[in-house]
Structures are given as structure tokens and as C-alpha cells.
Amino acid sequence: MKMTESHFSVRLVEVSSDYGGQRIDNFLLHLLKGVPRSMIYRILRKGEVRVNGARIRPDYRLQAGDKVRIPPVRLAQNAVPVCPPQALLDQLEKAVLYEDQQILVLNKPAGVAVHKGSGLHFGVIDICRILRPQAPFLELAHRLDRETSGCLVLAKSLPALRAMHDALRAGTTKKRYLALVQGYWKRGAVAVSEPLRNGLRGGERVVTVGVTGKSAKTHFRPVNFFRRASLLEVILATGRTHQIRVHAAYAKHPIAGDDKYGNSQFNQEMARYGLRRLFLHAHSITVPLGNRERDVSAPLDEGLKNVLDNLESK
């Protein structure tokens, strides 16, 4: 394969106060534009990136004055750059829910990944950088699974990114979801607090409940009931991978359309009501804006609304 030597020499970068507190993986993603996320984590894992001469983990938070060694990074040369289709560019432009000088909030469509990688040539962040070429800084403030729709916040400045991360860690930013789950939810408002751990099953990455996992807490509250399913509002107290999906399955009420943790028979039944995707939607989020907060909400798409209408009428 023909290679090009982009970012081809070793660099030593001193961290300014503007980037103090940022995770090293996010710092590298911002600094090495166009480098796949998988490559970033590979050079971190192999110890090729050093901070003050020492190996660090991807979640290491930089401090002002840190000296970061960045190794040569070689990128495969593409004969033709892959650009998002115009229809997707238009779709995301129309999906903007709120925007100011500090943040951009989108109603992310289901099926669109937030970042490129694993065979994907572009994600939401890449598309938004095309849509906002004048924005010198544009980063994901948090993430949504590819099949999850709804509120996604992008920061347009480092202070805004820090404020969002601080609010998420402190629990002052509330992320509310709507999920259609199997069966009649009889438990009322309840929190599931089982720890979660990452693992492999048949070569596929999965998340499971386990005492050796990381702490996780999910609040469930019933909103509506149907003959074979229940609509729940879900609030995350922590932000683990696949947290809602795994906790719902643990509670014996897997999410409709979940082909990883769900019930295939139930999914087939919901397909007869018109469900073509995972029924998990981030319907609102509280965003810190200086000394005030703003609640941003995202309506359900027509497909999910039709499923609820069909369940209501039958």
C-alpha cells in the first residue's frame, strides 16, 4: 500500500494553559486532524506517546506545562477523498436544535456514527466540521451510540468543552432518553445500579453486568403502557458504554430493536408495528452556558412516532 508521511517527524509539544485538564486522547484527536481514532489509541497503547517522558493512559488529563512527545504517524494515501453525500450534509444542517458561539446541539439521526473509524469514512464530527469551516474548534462534548438518535452536544471552544465535561462529571447535566422496552413495566420509578464491564463474546465487544465492572446508575420511569411494551423515560447518572441497553436487559425489559442485548422474538413483533431500528432516543439535555443552563429537546422522528401510534391503536 502506498503511504504518505503526514505528521512524519517526532514532535515535542508543550501544553498551554488553554488545554490544561483535557484528556490526552482528545488532545491528540484535535492536534492530529485526519488521523483515525483507532490509530490514536494504538500509539497510546504502545507507549509511543509520552508525557514528560512517561507512558500515560488515554484518560490522562493534561496539565499546563506538560511536554507531550508525539511520534511519526503514517497515513494510507487515498486516491480520492471520501466526502459525505450531500443528502447527509443537508440532513445534519436541518438537525441543528440550538447553536451559539460556544455550543452546537444536534438531533442526531439514528444510523450515523458520531466519529469515523472501523470502516466508516466520516461521522457527525467530521460532517459538522465541513458544515462549519469557520469554527476553529469543534469537538464532541459527549457521545451517542450509532443507532441512538437525539440530542448530541458539540463544543465550539475549549472552555465550553471543559464546562460540559465538568457538568457531566458533577451530574448537573441531565441527559434524558425515551426507550421502548419489552413487557409491562411494573416497577414504577426505579434506579438500576449494577456495575458494568467491557468484554468479548464470540469476538464481538459487549458490555455485561459484573461486580468487577465500573459503577453505573440508570434511572427508569414509566411514561406509557401498551399491550406488549412500555415507554420509559431514562436518566443517566453515569455515562458508561451501552449503559441503558444493558441495564434495561438486566431488568428483564430489553429495549425494542436491540439486536445485541435484546430479545429477537420481541424485536420481530415490534417490526410488525413498523420498528426498523433501536428504539432509544436522547430526547433532552441540560447544557451549561456560563452562569445559566439551557434545556434542549429533540422530537422523536416520524418512524418512532409511527411505532407508538401503531401500538396505541392495536
The residues that are catalytic are 145
- The C-alpha cell of 305 is what? 412516532
Judged by phi (left if over 0) then psi (alpha if -120 to 50, else beta), residue 20 lies in: beta
CA distances in angstroms from 306 to 150, 276, 279, listed in the order given: 17, 11, 12
Q: How many CB atoms lie within 10 A of CB 242?
A: 19
Q: How far apart are CA 61 and CA 47, in angstroms?
A: 16
Based on C-alpha coordinates, what's the Rg of the chain? 21
Q: How far apart are CA 96 and CA 104, in angstroms?
A: 7
Residue 309 φ then ψ, to 5°: -60, -45
Q: What share of the chain is helix, strand, coil (3-state, %, to 5)?
A: 25, 30, 45
CA distances in angstroms from 196 to 138, 143, 203, 280, listed in the order given: 30, 18, 18, 19
Chain centre distance of CA 172: 18
From the number of C-beta atoms within 10 Å of its C-beta (0-12, 13-18, 19+), residue 71 rates as: middle
Contact 142, 152 (CB under 8 A): yes
Q: How far apart are CA 266 and CA 78, in angstroms?
A: 43
Please, what is the end-to-end C-alpha distance for the chain in angstroms?
Answer: 57
